[in-house]
Structure 1
């Protein structure tokens, strides 16, 4: 059985007996609007914006842990050579996470020059299974800041307060890693729009890092969606990032989130690459 990885990251199995010929096809150069970016540059910027509580190098890979809060902060980031044969590196990853009583995850990427199609195929062969995929999108920052949106009701803060967390839906039980992870990054801003009670109507997070502004945790009260609140939050954050010298924007959106993808299409965001989290499938 031969495993083929498409540029989206999807794997397809084909019986060897039906295979006539084949070759490895490198990713095509991306055609997109907005800023140019290499995969390594963007991968490192996104990692700096969502940092773990604990990390350890494995060659040029990074093992990351944050008490299980999000896959991004609890997965190995393989940006280069692990310094070991891949099977041995995968064993080391499994042991590292087992010692912390966490599932073993590896984050890979596909669809751009320098991404990790071959590593994804190797993970599939060695018993790892992909659990979730997302798009990494980029755009010029100035058009987002120039959107015709009234930002007078948006509060920007360096501080992550309890009200903001009450709107944030990405964790259930209290976790000591939530605040350190959300507060990590070169220049972090939290945005909120007041609601009718103690829970904000909308929130967002932005990390400014050199030319990049990364947008995360944009959430709106379900009863108030489709009223422009997400756009308002992102516009306010974009203007702050522009003031700090950023010129390009990135964000991550799960591939099945059609509503968010449509919103970001309208703002000029285009797909740069896809990322995937593989989990070790214990026997």
Structure 2
């Protein structure tokens, strides 16, 4: 079983923010307000003065026009941080499960794809436009900031088919001998055709040639269909987190 702090570190490396400030054990991440993970505090260690640290975070984020936010999981420090944030007026957002598996086990549970999965080391415009149409928030400037997040980390990108119209995409962040599944999306008109499974298969099959042995993913706790799929593929819940956001 992987430690919660280790999985937090992997997720941070798989989705790196443009700027990160070390604050007495906290990592204060900023990325022009694009994506909550890249614009939230990862509270890895307890600061000496909690109140002063919170004041600093709130002032810094406000100066950058970002809502003060924290990613809170089992390894968050101090241990009562979640209660402290709630009392300070922070709202709970996006309860999420973190699931892990051995790559070999997932591949053994996946059917052989019946469609070609195209893998590359960078997201092209077709990939980006499809992802942004499904999961994007904001205009061209926000999309550019999101693309920079993707390009900061070593990763594989899958698309079905190679050119438009795109039916499905996925991203696999590569961190040491681990990989993280991100940005898995299927066009609503092509769902229930096994394209999500084909995308995962293509990414993990390629990852095995790069020395990757284990894989993680994040899934919103309320997303029952996705959780059922990942259960069937052999993923097990190893951690969880949510965000606390000050409106």
Identify whether the pair has TM-score above 0.5, normalized to the shorter chain.
yes
Match of 2:202 in 1: 236
5 Å matches for 1:72-111? 72-82=37-47, 84-110=48-74
Larger Rg: 1
Provide closer, same or farther for how the CA distance between residues 178 and 115 of structure 1 changes in structure 2, counting only shifts above 3 A. closer
Q: Among residues 240, 251, 259, which one is paired with 2:225 in the alignment?
A: 259
Match of 1:203 in 2: 169
Write out per-residue CA displacement over residues 60-90 of structure 1, whole angstroms, 9 at most, x where no aligned residue.
Answer: 11111111111001101111133x3111111
Match of 1:133 in 2: 95
- Structure 1 position 162 matched with structure 2 position 125: yes
Match of 2:12 in 1: 47
* Partners of 2:170 and 2:185 within 8 A in 1: yes
- Distance (whole Å) between structure 2 residues aligned to residue 115 and residue 140 of structure 1: 26
Match of 2:151 in 1: 183
Please identify which structure carries the higher helix content: 2
SS at structure 2 position matched to 1:148? coil
* Partners of 2:98 and 2:218 within 8 A in 1: yes
Q: Among residues 176, 179, 190, which one is paired with 1:213 in the alignment?
A: 179
SS at structure 2 position matched to 1:198? coil
Q: TM-score if structure 1 supplies the norm length?
A: 0.80
Q: CA deviation at 1:151?
A: 6.5
* RMSD of aligned alpha carbons: 1.6
Number of residue pairs aligned between Structure 1 and Structure 2: 240
SS at structure 2 position matched to 1:183? helix
- Distance (whole Å) between structure 2 residues aligned to residue 151 and residue 214 of structure 1: 24
Provide closer, same or farther for how the CA distance between residues 151 and 77 of structure 1 changes in structure 2, counting only shifts above 3 A. farther
SS at structure 2 position matched to 1:177? helix
Q: CA deviation at 1:152?
A: 5.5
* Partners of 1:66 and 1:177 within 8 A in 2: yes
SS at structure 2 position matched to 1:207? strand
Q: CA deviation at 1:148?
A: 2.4
Provide closer, same or farther for how the CA distance between residues 203 and 85 of structure 1 changes in structure 2, counting only shifts above 3 A. same
- Distance (whole Å) between structure 2 residues aligned to residue 90 and residue 157 of structure 1: 41
Q: Which of structure 1's runs of 4+ aligned residues deviate more than 6 A?
A: none
Q: TM-score if structure 2 supplies the norm length?
A: 0.92
Q: Among residues 57, 62, 67, which one is paired with 2:27 in the alignment?
A: 62
Q: CA deviation at 1:223?
A: 1.1
* Partners of 1:151 and 1:236 within 8 A in 2: no
Structure 1 residues without counterparts, runs of 5 or longer:
1-35
Q: Among residues 196, 214, 218, which one is paired with 1:248 in the alignment?
A: 214
Q: CA deviation at 1:166?
A: 2.0
- Distance (whole Å) between structure 2 residues aligned to residue 105 and residue 37 of structure 1: 25
Provide closer, same or farther for how the CA distance between residues 54 and 208 of structure 1 changes in structure 2, counting only shifts above 3 A. same
* Partners of 1:69 and 1:171 within 8 A in 2: no
- Distance (whole Å) between structure 1 residues aligned to residue 26 and residue 241 of structure 2: 16
- Distance (whole Å) between structure 1 residues aligned to residue 87 and residue 146 of structure 2: 34
